[in-house]
Amino acid sequence: MTASLRRRRRSPAAGPLEDDDLLSEILLRLPPQPSSLPRASLVCKRWRCLASDPGFRRRFRIHHRRNPPLLGCFVTDQHRRRLSFVSTLEAPNRVPSGRLSLQLGNGDRFRLLNCRHGLLLMYIASWKQILVWDPVTADQHRLAVPPGFDFNFVPVIHLVSGAVVRAAGADHFQVVLVGTDKQQHRGAIACVYSSETGLWGKIISTPLPPEVYSGRSSPFISFMSVPSVLVGDSIYWLIAGYSLVILEFDLHRQNLTVIRLSEDMFAKKNCQFLIMRAEGGGLGYLFLSNYNAKLWKRKNGYDGVASWVLERTIELDKLLSLNPEEKDSPIMLGIAEHKNLVFMWTVTGLFTVQLESLEFKESFETNCSYGHQPFEGVYTAETITGGGHDGAALLLNT
């Protein structure tokens, strides 16, 4: 908070809202929607001065970081040379087109690895570096790739994936890279970067079960393009080979483990997997075969041994009220992990389905059935004390 704001203190006869410290605590608890601070800034000059303070906007983003709204999607084109942001919010919360954008060189190829806690993690081929980018503040951190990780650009086969996490109430972050053993292709490796130390840690490894590589070296082993999921202290990815398994990295214990699934993806046609936070907490996954969706949850038994339990089944064709000619197999593009909101592409367009309430709605138009990363974050429009602000664009269509 600026010095001028600190000097404004409540006199004994003044009301509670005359105390800037108390007012800032009230404004801090406004809903984390993009229009909240622009609306507050219209009340009076004093409120606009407070809402425009960089320190307050930072506190506002941090305060709401663990329950952020879904702002939209970052969409990658087929050749991974263009990254676009598409807002999924209605006016007045729709983020202006181009506001969350990243300027890359012409022809730069990249791989978008993860969106979490308001940060994007991506690998840019021409830089041969990993980028951690905050679209709201425009902060960038470029990281060297640790030895042992091979970012190839072969279609379908992804030998490396990653995740970014940021602690509540802090600006520092961690990056977890996971990959397959380049020598044997029979194990998985992980390495953790900390922005506090500016260093990568040691390589952590674990063997993969024989059914994944079918008992021999197999370059087919790769990470699925669906997003990773953070549940508690662990991050989870899907690995595909001759079978499908989940790779778990425990941030607290710093170890890798492999979890087998209850469904065999390769035993059925037109089926897909998506790992997710289970209803009520814990690890779950969504198994989709045509329009039949099964939600599974991992539970510990009385003997302490974890197993998969089928929680419920959803008939999506009835939920979406599709006509017979519209019933081509849907494609799950990604999941907003805080909201458990699945993005699903069908021949009629892009839908979102909330897995607990089963609320669904049609999202933005797209002819692209790949390369979507939902972005959950807190967008604070720039508000200038002099009277103008880019937040005005959010309020034009109220």
Q: Are residues 263 and 356 in the same domain?
A: yes
Q: Are residues 283 and 178 in the same domain?
A: yes
Residues 6+ apart with CB under 8 A from 213: 185, 186, 221, 241, 242
Residues 6+ apart with CB under 8 A from 155: none
Q: Are residues 48 and 163 in the same domain?
A: no
pLDDT value at residue 82:
75
Q: Are residues 358 and 321 in the same domain?
A: yes
Q: Are residues 108 and 167 in the same domain?
A: yes
Q: Are residues 45 and 130 in the same domain?
A: no
Tell me the per-residue pLDDT of 165-193, one tens digit each, with 9 for 90 and over: 998 778 899 999 999 877 666 889 999 99
pLDDT value at residue 379:
92
Q: Are residues 171 and 203 in the same domain?
A: yes
**pLDDT tens track, the chain, 398 positions:** 444 444 455 455 556 667 888 899 999 999 999 999 999 999 999 899 999 999 999 999 999 988 899 998 888 875 556 788 888 888 889 998 778 888 777 667 888 899 999 999 999 988 899 999 999 999 999 999 999 898 877 666 678 999 999 987 788 999 999 998 776 668 899 999 999 999 999 999 999 888 787 655 555 678 887 889 999 999 999 988 878 899 999 999 999 999 998 876 666 677 888 999 998 889 999 999 888 899 999 998 787 788 999 999 988 877 776 665 656 778 888 889 888 899 888 777 788 888 888 888 877 665 555 667 899 999 987 654 343 446 555 554 44
Q: Are residues 158 and 222 in the same domain?
A: yes
pLDDT value at residue 233:
94
Q: Are residues 159 and 202 in the same domain?
A: yes
Counted domains in the chain: 2
Q: Are residues 46 and 148 in the same domain?
A: no
- CATH of residue 248's domain is 2.120.10
- DSSP type of residue 155: S
Tell me the per-residue pLDDT of 98-134, one tens digit each, with 9 for 90 and over: 788 887 776 678 888 999 999 999 999 888 999 999 9
Q: Are residues 49 and 132 in the same domain?
A: no
By residue range, what is the domain housing residue 18?
3-63+381-395
Q: Are residues 104 and 42 in the same domain?
A: no
